[in-house]
Chain A
Amino acid sequence: MDPAYSVILFTSSSGAGYGLLIWLAFTRLSGAWALSPMVAVIGCLVALALITTGLLSSTFHLGHPERAWRAMSQWRTSWLSREGVFAILTYPAALVFTAGWIWDAVPPIAMTLAASATLILSLVTVISTGMIYACLKTIPRWHNRWVVPVYLAMAIASGGLLFTLVLAASSAARQQTLILVMVVLLISWMTKWAYWRFIDRQEPASTTGTATGLGHLGTVSQLEAPHTSENYLLKEMGFSIARKHATKLRRMALNLGLLLPGIMLVLAGMSNGFAQLVLLSAALVLGLAGIVVERWLFFAEARHAVTLFYGRSL
């Protein structure tokens, strides 16, 4: 599948945004960490800015962005539509939640409700994003049980890296908390590792022989393509990269997304003040870069059933 940069940016950026909202809402509901209210507000606004950037970016790849509002209508059948609906519903809840940190006009019960709604809607939106891909039977590397957990885990992990900055700015970035974020980061990349293992062992269910129904005549190969140059199908669905390339990129994603941020978190746990803020920022930037590489691979490694008709394999 063609790795469209707008979609990679959207899923990474809004994923981190929803992840941060999840951490902030959880903090409010559980009281696990004492945040300075003003810093919490800034955290909420940063999360919403990331989500909004992602949503706007996702409209860039549309043929008709001005009709994007129509995408809210088919939530009965379409995960893309559901994602849009949940994303929009998150805004009012998150705005009340944001205001509630500093504005006394929001009663505690409303704040608790807004925090709960923000938490649930953020989770459901990220799950919907994963389901857009996981529901496509045409792409075996997406149509499996690992895709949604990976999207969810990556969102919570990248949100966690953002959250460490909120904690640091509230002077509440204690070692135990940084260890917790490291564990979450480790779990997210273990989920991704499990996904990679799964797709590497996947046996293709269909071949050119089964797709064309000509398999009973022997091995089926394409003798002549239907067109002399690439068409939309091959550009969009036929994107392919070499396997060894993929292995290198996976290593790069792991280094950027897990190893280096892990080191930064350890160092941050041993420092404080401005140095800690710089180290946590570095962890965030590296972690996001790792997710971008991972997301690029998610598209580039995915093979579409239509390519079977062009004599390729899944």
Chain B
Amino acid sequence: MTSLPKTTGKKLGLVTDLDICVGCHACAVSCKEWNAGGHSAPLTDTNAYGKDPSGVWFNRVHVYETDDGENTRTVNFPRSCLHCEQPACVTVCPTGASYKREEDGIVLVDAEKCIGCKLCSWACPYGAREYDADDGVMKKCTLCIDRIYNENLEESERQPACVIACPARARHFGDLGDPDSNISRLVERRGGYALMPETGYQPVNRYLPPRARKDQAGDTGTADHLDAAENVDSGHSFFNWLDKALSR
């Protein structure tokens, strides 16, 4: 059913910390590894060892350079489905294969109903959906629905594969609809933001902006500047004489 639920019980989603992401692609690779055997399996690769490999991935890590005229910065930027509250990818679907779950807000594709018209991928500005030409259906991030509720896994492992894999702890998973959840507090504290709010799709996922750079002496809490050594008065005439003598 492509009509959207009025509200969802939870708003499960991811928070990505752009300040500490090191761009190692572990999240993307781990996602591929889990999901190649998960809910939307297989994630087809074509010509995987050839000259022009391509394949379905749910997570892509971009690297951007920002330049303010004086300084440049490198920002690693993982991009995946944001599980929007008003997802146009769902409402444009003609078959009802795309849907948003009422209980937790996860956006999924029913591979049995999908006709592979690709319109949902056109409707998504975030590039979250990738078509599997082999299966003839659209595929997307499931927020590891087969992990987060999986009672065969240890409770600590009931998180999306990308979150568990991140060696820098740059990824967080939780209920962004609950203002008291750890993840919501983190977003609040760090000024987390949604991507492209102008679309009106109201993404659930948030990105934590890179922290302000501390490249001036005063930025780290030390003195703005240090006095030159020769001006230092040790308070003892012998050491002052020694300092002078050695400075010659």
Q: Does B75 contact A (CB under 8 A)?
A: yes
Q: Does A186 contact B (CB under 8 A)?
A: no
Known A64-B136, A222-B63, A223-B63; contact A231-B94, beta-carbon cutoff 8 A: no
Q: Does B125 contact A (CB under 8 A)?
A: yes
Cβ-defined contact, A229 with B115, below 8 A: no
Within the assembled complex, what's the spacing in Å between the Cα atoms of A1 and B119?
A: 12
Write the nearest CB–CB distance from B122 to chain A, whole angstroms.
6
A78-90 interface bits toward B, Cβ cutoff 8 Å, 1 = contact, 0 = none? 1111001000000
Cβ-defined contact, B119 with A73, below 8 A: no
Within the assembled complex, what's the spacing in Å between the Cα atoms of A212 and B63?
A: 11
Write the nearest CB–CB distance from B121 to chain A, whole angstroms.
7
Q: Does A278 contact B (CB under 8 A)?
A: no
Cβ-defined contact, B66 with A220, below 8 A: yes
Instruction: Please give, as numbers and ranges, the residues of chain B lying within 8 Å of A219 by CB-CB distance.
Output: 66-68
Cβ-defined contact, B77 with A212, below 8 A: yes
Write the nearest CB–CB distance from A219 to chain B, whole angstroms.
5
Cβ-defined contact, A70 with B196, below 8 A: no
Interface residues of B in 6-42 (CB under 8 A from A): 18, 23, 28
Q: Does A213 contact B (CB under 8 A)?
A: yes
Instruction: Please give, as numbers and ranges, the residues of chain B lying within 8 Å of A223 by CB-CB distance.
Output: 63-65, 74
22 A-B pairs (CB sep. < 8 Å): A1-B122, A61-B117, A64-B116, A70-B113, A71-B94, A73-B94, A74-B93, A77-B3, A81-B94, A135-B88, A137-B88, A138-B125, A211-B196, A214-B75, A219-B68, A222-B64, A223-B74, A229-B52, A237-B122, A237-B127, A304-B122, A309-B79
B residues with CB within 8 A of A: 1-4, 18, 23, 28, 52-57, 60-69, 71-75, 77, 79, 88, 90-97, 113-119, 121-127, 130-133, 135-138, 193, 195-196, 198-200, 207, 209-210
